[in-house]
Amino acid sequence: MGQHGTLIWIGNLTVWYFLVTLLVKVRTIHALNYATTATKDEILQRNCAYAKGLHPNLIRFVTKEGYHREIEDVVEVTFTNSPLSPSDFKTGECKLALLAKFTRDMYVDPYEIQNIPGLAEDTRILNNWTDLEGPSWSAMSNSTVFIHLHSIPTGNLITTEQLKFPIHFRYQKPLSHSRFKDRVQQGQISNAGALVNPAGYMKVIVPLPRLLLRCEAWNHHPLIEAKCHVIKTLCNSKSAKDELCEWISLPFKSNSKQGSPVFIPSGDVDQVLMVSAITLLVVLGGTAFLVHTLIRTNEKLAGSAVITDDDDGDSNKVHKD
């Protein structure tokens, strides 16, 4: 009986040890998943009361095809248990904005933005200049865009705004498509890498913007920096570049947490010889045709001049007689 009781006690202890170990592993995996999926702003603003009280969502779509596309953003911000009130946004005491920093694979044309009604008034391109022609591997600038958001509070809804603006993608650096296929077949790289199909399309990620919050009263509460992570950028879309204000970068939920993938054609270096040969033949053929046309035209003009001179001589003889 004593041995039987000892076995039961050991069995129970083993079960409890297994359950505790399993619980620890589950909590560890959950923590790792949160650390993996948590954005930088979520980590920095964990102790920020203003960020906790606001619940932003951003839905993004990249529409159209080719190198010239459009970004469509829908921004919605609600609040619960926030130190801010709807009147703060209604009076303009607090403001919301988007700050989008794009990679060199793409750019926003400032001249195009200036000609779009409604967008030009609320948008500011922060670059001193924008390289409109350079390919992605040699472009000397990238685009940073500041967009002011309009807040019209209704109940616990602070704002719902839909934005649409054009974006242009640069030419991608040519690659050896055959070499890439061989590396995929050999398992050296995943097919989810840069080129995603035999046609040679490069995957380019359109990064998500930062959603910014600023209130005028913060100028009187410098201790906010101890609770909330603050960045400095333009005070509004009309302010001078050296006039900077402090903004809170709010974490938000989005349908594309890692950015929006776009597939851009990439040249194939394996076809350099063929393309060069065809180009040379076309240029030589065009040049030969142009030279032939010029010679024929010159001969016709010369013949017309001779006939005109003969007619003038005959008419003079008749006049003398």
Under the banding of pLDDT at 50, 70 and 90, the label for residue 310 is low
Distance separating alpha carbons of residues 110 and 108, to the nearest angstrom: 6
Convert the pLDDT of each residue in 138-159 to its tens digit: 887 778 999 999 988 888 899 9
Q: Are 70 and 164 in contact (CB under 8 A)?
A: yes
Under the banding of pLDDT at 50, 70 and 90, the label for residue 91 is confident
Phi, psi of 269 (to 5 degrees): -65, -20
Q: Please give the residue that has the higher pLDDT: either 95 or 39.
A: 95
Q: What is the DSSP letter of 271?
A: G
Average pLDDT, the chain: 78
Report the percent of the chain where pLDDT is more than 90: 28
Q: Is 224 helix (H, G, I), strand (E, B) or coil?
A: helix
Predicted confidence (pLDDT) at residue 129 exceeds the cutoff of 90: no
Distance separating alpha carbons of residues 77 and 54, to the nearest angstrom: 7
Q: What share of the chain is helix, strand, coil (3-state, %, to 5)?
A: 40, 30, 30
**Residues with Cβ within 8 Å of residue 27, at least 6 apart in sequence:** none
Q: What is the DSSP letter of 266?
A: E
Give the per-residue pLDDT at 266.
81
Q: What is the pTM of this model?
A: 0.70
DSSP for 2-55 reads HHHHHHHHHHHHHHHHHHHHHHHHHHHHHHHHHHHH--HHHHHTTT-HHHHHEE
Q: Are 201 and 264 in contact (CB under 8 A)?
A: yes
Under the banding of pLDDT at 50, 70 and 90, the label for residue 308 is low
Convert the pLDDT of each residue in 230-267 to its tens digit: 888 998 888 887 788 889 899 999 998 788 989 888 87
Q: What is the DSSP letter of 142?
A: -
Mean pLDDT confidence for 52-72: 92
Predicted confidence (pLDDT) at residue 32 exceeds the cutoff of 70: no
Convert the pLDDT of each residue in 184-202 to its tens digit: 566 655 555 555 555 678 8
Per-domain residue ranges of the chain: 1-37, 44-272
The runs of H, that is alpha helices, within the chain are 2-37, 40-44, 49-53, 86-90, 110-114, 177-185, 224-227, 272-320
Length of the chain measured in residues: 321
